[in-house]
Amino acid sequence: MVRTRELFAPTLRQISGEVELASHRLLLRAGFVRQLAAGMYSLLPLGLRVVRKVENIVRQEMDAAGAQELFLPALHPLELWEKTGRAQYWGDELMKLKDRTGRPFCLGGTHEEVVTQLASEVKSYRELPFTLYQIQTKFRDDPRPRGGLVRVREFTMKDAYSFDRDVAGLDCSYDKMVAAYHRIMERVALPYHVVDASGGGIGGWDTKEFELPTESGESHYLRCDSCGYAATPEVAQYKREVQTAGEDELPLERVETPGQRTIDQVTEFLGVPPEKLVKTLIYQADERVVAALVRGDRDLSEDKLQVAVEAKKLEMAAAATIERVSGAPVGFAGPVGIKEVEILADEELRGERNFVTGGNEDDLHLRNVNWGRDFEVNQWADLRNGEAGDLCPGCGGPLTAYRGIELAHVFKLGTIYSEPLAAHFLDEDGERKPMVMGCYGLGTTRMMAAIVEHSHDDAGIVWPMSVAPYEVVIILLNHDDEEHRAVAEKLYEELPQEGFEVLLEDRFERAGVKFKDADLMGIPGQVVVGRLAAEGKVEVRRRGGESRTVQVGDAGTALREILSTNLPA
């Protein structure tokens, strides 16, 4: 219940051409948010109401799933992040600061460490399982914030953590959270795809992202439109066609390639298509050094390589290592004659003959290289990113490239936090074990942006009922007309009693301005008090939908009907 005359919601008629994303433009124009600095936004009263509604939906579903809400500090001792190795892993993305005594702290980018330490108070299997969650501000010093509220440096997120005695228990806790997420997406009226993803370098498995499919999204994934299989390129499985060598093996040739290091350069220089090249990528896998081979036009998936070599830690080998094993400057490594490394080759190369590789000498490449003859493959594996056009592993249909906004992310952590932080319990058998954890994130401010991104038209935002900042706006057109004003005031009095959240548009503005702003703000129900008020009638409309003229006394009934769906038909 508020009057627009008192509402702090400055609307903008124009906005800089630099602001590109629809959600960003509309949330700014409609007076929901303001930018303080790159990736930092103030939520104005209307924006806050939307976020609160999203939060309440999330809260209800979390509670219904048996999770318990708590509230953890945003400020963490850096030491805690060092125990799990994440201070280093996150690097500059973690916002660090010191207190007056010089003790190092950080602003939490997430809360696994803090919640795990808290959970370590659990002593017995009898206290398990449980799931904790909070709705908290997160800080991430992203190298490039973008897209308005989609990717920012300070944002609010619901993060939940489950604690179980074993993996079977985790699976159960995880399934409950996933089910809750499905209901949340339904309630905020967003379409979504559940996408298999990578747990990232820190570990975890069964990682899934809930993605809003939209061209303006920044995540990329592949999806089979016939059976619904979806995955990020790094983890996407695909059906491999049986490859047969189509050509005879030709004699190996050395070819001078002065200064030609990259695939593009070599392709250009030798005049061969990139699929005839084979990339040799040298990685440090824990203590070992491995060479991964993929076709020149493909991208290596570090996730798949890491699985194939069963390494805890995988990173590009240092230049010195590459030079040692290949005997050549970076850019000329190849499988023929390389030393001290295991060679892993992408399955796809089984069908390749006579390809071009680095020559392990400065400015040298080799032509007509063949595996088996010129070098031995130690291990064949799927090592490349999936691509659009690959075949679905389930049904064989083609995979399509999608872009999306990542709304939520779930994954199974196992004991990767409970072990270093000593979150143990005594099991039935008297054995001391680390708790088995899962974690479940959902960005609430991002969700507001995603809803706008998905639901708007040329005139402005079209909020679903479930998260609209107000459900009904009474638009009083002529403020000077006593009769009209009386009708508007009566509605403003009565509609809340009928259960509606009401905004009264009573500013000293012209009718046009009020209509434009009402559409821009996207309030689902509009009650227009205008000329017809003299006859005791008002116009009841759905933003983006139908409109009808009714007696003032019937406005509530008409609104109930017209607003019975979450989004206009």
Q: Is 168 left (phi over 0), alpha (psi -120 to 50) or beta?
A: alpha
Q: Which of 318, 391, 167, 114 is nearest to 175 (CA)?
A: 167
**Please, what is the minimum distance in Å from the beta carbon of residue 40 to RNA?**
7
Query: Interface with RNA by CB under 7 A: which range of 65-73, 135-143, 281-289, 378-386?
Result: 135-143
User: Looking at 49, 140, 176, 456, which residue binds RNA (CB under 7 A)?
Assistant: 140
Q: Is 206 left (phi over 0), alpha (psi -120 to 50) or beta?
A: left
Asked if residue 485 binds RNA (CB under 7 A), the reply is no
Query: Interface with RNA by CB under 7 A: which range of 394-402, 418-426, 513-521, 555-563?
Result: 513-521
What does the alpha-carbon distance between residue 533 and residue 545 come to, in Å, rounded to a whole number?
22
Residues 82-121 interacting with RNA (rule: CB under 7 A) = 90, 93, 109-110
* Amino acid identity for residue 365 in this structure: H
Nearer to RNA, 215 or 429 (CB): 215
Asked if residue 298 binds RNA (CB under 7 A), the reply is no
Query: Interface with RNA by CB under 7 A: which range of 139-147, 354-362, 365-373, 463-471?
Result: 139-147
Place of tokens 């010129």: 374
Q: Specify which residues 290 forms β-bridges with.
A: 283, 342
Query: Interface with RNA by CB under 7 A: which range of 8-16, 75-83, 182-190, 239-247?
Result: 8-16
What does the alpha-carbon distance between residue 65 and residue 46 come to, in Å, rounded to a whole number?
29
What does the alpha-carbon distance between residue 494 and residue 490 come to, in Å, rounded to a whole number?
6
User: Looking at 31, 39, 233, 404, which residue binds RNA (CB under 7 A)?
Assistant: 39
Asked if residue 511 binds RNA (CB under 7 A), the reply is yes
Asked if residue 520 binds RNA (CB under 7 A), the reply is yes
What does the alpha-carbon distance between residue 452 and residue 51 come to, in Å, rounded to a whole number?
12
Three-class SS of residue 541?
A: strand
Distances (CA, A) of 215 to 17, 201, 401: 19, 27, 10
Distance of CA 152 to the CA centre of its chain: 12
Site string for RNA, 436-455 (x = CB under 7 A): -----x-x------------
Nearer to RNA, 151 or 276 (CB): 151
Output phi, psi for 481, to 5 deg: -85, 115
> Quick check: bond before 129 cis, omega within 30?
yes
User: Looking at 9, 21, 75, 189, which residue binds RNA (CB under 7 A)?
Assistant: 21
Nearer to RNA, 144 or 312 (CB): 144
Query: Interface with RNA by CB under 7 A: which range of 127-135, 151-159, 252-260, 341-349?
Result: 151-159
Element spanning 528, H or E: strand 525-529
Q: Specify which residues 405 forms β-bridges with.
A: 212
Nearer to RNA, 283 or 425 (CB): 283
Site string for RNA, 409-438 (x = CB under 7 A): x-x---------------------------
Asked if residue 310 binds RNA (CB under 7 A), the reply is no
**Please, what is the minimum distance in Å from the beta carbon of residue 118 to RNA?**
18
Site string for RNA, 521-560 (x = CB under 7 A): -------xxxxxx-----x---------------------
Q: DSSP assignment of 451-486, as one string?
A: HHHHSEETTEE---GGG-S-SEEEEES-TT-HHHHH
Binding site for RNA (CB under 7 A): 11-21, 24, 29, 35, 37-39, 90, 93, 109-110, 138, 140, 142-148, 151, 157, 159, 200-202, 204, 218-219, 409, 411, 441, 443, 459, 477-480, 510-513, 515-517, 519-520, 528-533, 539
